[in-house]
């Protein structure tokens, strides 16, 4: 659907750096123009376009020309005897015929092919939709992983500060050597978590590069789009979404076009029961030459043969006619073909029901995900507040010497996990919400 190519607005302009940085709109445009499946279906659409031209050209008359040469040697029958007949002959003809009546078969064939062309176009838009949604989801995955990196960087920085403080307190004898060892271990764990988070960013960028079919994923990155914590609720009810989706999703429109095409094919098959009237006109001429003599006739009376061009002129003729072809019995094939067309109608209608069911299930799943992910997101926000408060208390208690460094590290790990859970829930909710609103006809944006 053409909307999808303009779905992703509101993103900042492309930043120039040594590494190519892509906006979401650029990713979508590139993907739908370079995807091999899209290109394959575009070829199929071109075939349907050619079929439509053929169907329209069937209204034109058929014109053909022929030129023939023939040579023969030997005896020819003459009464009870024979005569030598060595002969060269040449003929030239030009003819044209046009279909006058066939119960609208040509018009019905054009109409059917037009439906096939529309269905092919909707097939292309369906693939573009699927690719665009995959790109949008992967784009959000990259942004999520980058947020996880920021959390890991902050946790690593705090762990390093804790290690520096532990070294000082250990050197002056305020804390035991085990405190410094635990601080060093905590810093090592956070560095490991940071490296894992950075690799996850690269992994998600690699996945996006594969979706885009880029030759080198190492030179690929996406724009950093800030996504706030204040997320808007869904805009429409599920019934409103379904009503809109049934009307604008290209896979449903393609199925509807194929129903019309199959119904028209049934009409085309029925035209074989009706007579066909064809009109034809033609012109032609010929040339004859007796190779064993240059005379025509007998010894008592003969005429000298005319030359090639003179014979063409003398023998020139015209013809015209109208023919009526009335079908009487063709082994019941036409009846069977009509029955087959009706079966194809049923198949097309069943395909439409399947497409509607698939859209309905996708919308219902998106609705469920929106509600579930929002609850998870709200719970994650509360958990982050609690763990942050617990971490602050643990930090103050440790500074006052009332708790151990182990308790402090546990509190900090819990807070880092809570931050990651908030980001995960936020991006999950954001994508499910955008997906649901997309089915409702709302352009996706960040």
Q: How confident is the model at residue 239 (pLDDT cuts 50, 70, 90)?
A: confident
DSSP assigned state of 159: H
Q: Residue 67: its pLDDT value, please? A: 94
End-to-end CA distance of the chain: 20
pLDDT at position 1 over 50: no
Q: How far apart are CA 10 and CA 446, in angstroms?
A: 7
The pLDDT value recorded for residue 81 is: 66
**Confidence band of 407 (pLDDT split at 50, 70, 90):** confident
pLDDT of residue 386: 92
Q: Residue 178: its pLDDT value, please?
A: 86
Give the pLDDT confidence score for residue 399 in this predicted structure.
Answer: 81
Q: Are 363 and 441 in contact (CB under 8 A)?
A: no
Greater confidence (388 vs 236) lies with 388
**pLDDT, position 236:** 73
How many whole angstroms separate alpha carbon 251 and alpha carbon 296? 76
pLDDT of residue 309: 87
Average pLDDT over residues 439-445: 76
pLDDT for 25 equals 86
> What's the mean pLDDT in 326-351?
94
DSSP per position, 187-221: HHHHHHHHHHHHHHHHHHHHHHHHHHT-S-GGGEE
Does residue 355 carry a pLDDT above 80? yes
pLDDT in tens, 12-64: 333 333 467 888 888 988 998 888 999 999 999 999 999 999 999 999 999 99
- The whole-number pLDDT of residue 6 equals 45
What would the pLDDT profile of 369-405 be if each residue is shown by its tens digit?
A: 998 998 899 899 999 999 999 989 888 888 877 878 8
Q: Which residues contact 288 (CB under 8 A, 6 or more apart)?
A: 87, 88, 89, 305, 311
* Average pLDDT for 222-241: 77
pLDDT at site 111:
96
Of 74-88, 171-185, 220-234, the range with the lowest mean pLDDT is 74-88
**What integer pLDDT is reported at residue 10 of this predicted model?**
38
CB atoms within 10 A of CB 171: 10
Confidence of residue 308 (pLDDT cuts 50, 70, 90): confident
Tokens standing for 95?
Answer: 């003819």
3-state DSSP assignment of residue 336 = helix
Q: Give 427-437 pLDDT, tens digit per residue.
A: 999 889 888 88
Place of tokens 């040509």: 106
Partnered with residue 320 across adjacent β-strands are 281
Burial 184-211 (b: 16+ CB within 10 A, else e): eebbeebeebbeebbebbeebbeebbeb
Output the pTM of the full model: 0.81
Q: pLDDT tens digit string along 242-293?
A: 999 999 999 999 999 999 999 999 999 999 999 999 999 999 999 988 776 6
Task: Give the chain's radius of gyration (CA, Å).
Answer: 41
Mean pLDDT of 333-337: 93
Q: Is the pLDDT of residue 231 over 80?
A: no
Residue range 360-365: average pLDDT? Answer: 93
Give 22's strand partners. 222
Q: How many helices (H) and strands (E) does the chain have?
A: 9, 10
The pLDDT value recorded for residue 233 is: 67
Quickly state the pLDDT bin for 230 (edges 50, 70, 90). Answer: low
Mean pLDDT over residues 61-81, rounded?
Answer: 83
pLDDT tens-digit series, residues 195-216: 999 999 999 999 999 899 887 7
- What is the structure's pLDDT at 5? 38
Selection from 317, 309, 319, 310 nearest residue 285 by Cα: 317
């Amino acid at each position: 659907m053409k909307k999808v190519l303009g779905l992703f607005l509101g993103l900042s302009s492309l930043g120039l750096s040594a590494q190519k940085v892509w906006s979401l709109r650029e990713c979508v445009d590139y993907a739908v123009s370079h995807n091999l499946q899209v290109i394959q279906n575009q070829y199929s659409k071109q075939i349907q376009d050619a079929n439509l031209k053929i169907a329209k050209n069937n209204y034109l008359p058929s014109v053909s020309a022929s030129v023939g040469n023939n040579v023969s040697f030997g005896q020819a029958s003459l009464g009870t005897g024979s005569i030598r007949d060595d002969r060269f002959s040449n003929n030239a003809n030009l003819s044209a015929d046009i279909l006058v009546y066939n119960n609208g078969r040509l018009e019905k064939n054009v109409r059917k092919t037009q439906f096939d062309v529309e269905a092919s176009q909707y097939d292309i838009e369906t693939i573009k939709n699927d690719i665009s949604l995959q790109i949008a989801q992967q784009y959000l995955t990259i942004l999520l992983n980058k947020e996880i990196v920021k959390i890991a960087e902050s946790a690593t920085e705090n762990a390093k500060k804790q290690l520096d403080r532990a070294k000082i307190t250990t050197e002056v004898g305020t804390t035991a050597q085990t405190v410094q060892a635990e601080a060093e271990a905590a810093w090592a764990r956070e560095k490991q978590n940071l490296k894992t988070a950075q690799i996850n960013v690269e992994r998600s960028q690699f996945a996006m590069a594969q979706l885009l079919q880029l030759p080198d994923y190492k030179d690929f990155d996406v724009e950093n789009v800030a996504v706030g914590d204040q997320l808007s609720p869904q805009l429409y009810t599920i019934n409103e979404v379904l009503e809109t989706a049934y009307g604008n999703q290209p896979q449903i429109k393609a199925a509807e076009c194929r129903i019309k095409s199959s119904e028209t094919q049934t009409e085309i098959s029925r035209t074989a029961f009706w007579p066909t009237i064809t009109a034809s006109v033609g012109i032609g001429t010929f040339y004859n030459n007796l190779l064993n003599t240059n005379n025509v006739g007998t010894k008592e009376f003969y005429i000298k043969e005319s030359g090639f061009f003179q014979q063409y002129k003398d023998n020139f003729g015209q013809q015209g006619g109208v023919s009526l072809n009335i079908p009487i019995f063709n082994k019941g094939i036409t009846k069977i073909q009509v029955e087959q067309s009706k079966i194809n109608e049923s198949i097309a209608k069943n395909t439409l029901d399947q497409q509607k069911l698939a859209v309905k299930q996708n919308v219902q799943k998106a609705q469920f995900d929106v509600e579930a992910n929002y609850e998870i997101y709200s719970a994650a926000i509360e958990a982050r507040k609690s763990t942050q408060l617990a971490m602050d208390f643990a930090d103050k208690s440790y500074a006052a010497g009332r708790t151990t460094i182990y308790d402090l590290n546990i509190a900090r790990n819990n807070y880092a996990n809570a931050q990651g859970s908030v980001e995960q829930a936020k991006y999950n909710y954001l994508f499910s919400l955008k997906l649901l609103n997309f089915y409702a006809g709302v352009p996706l944006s960040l």
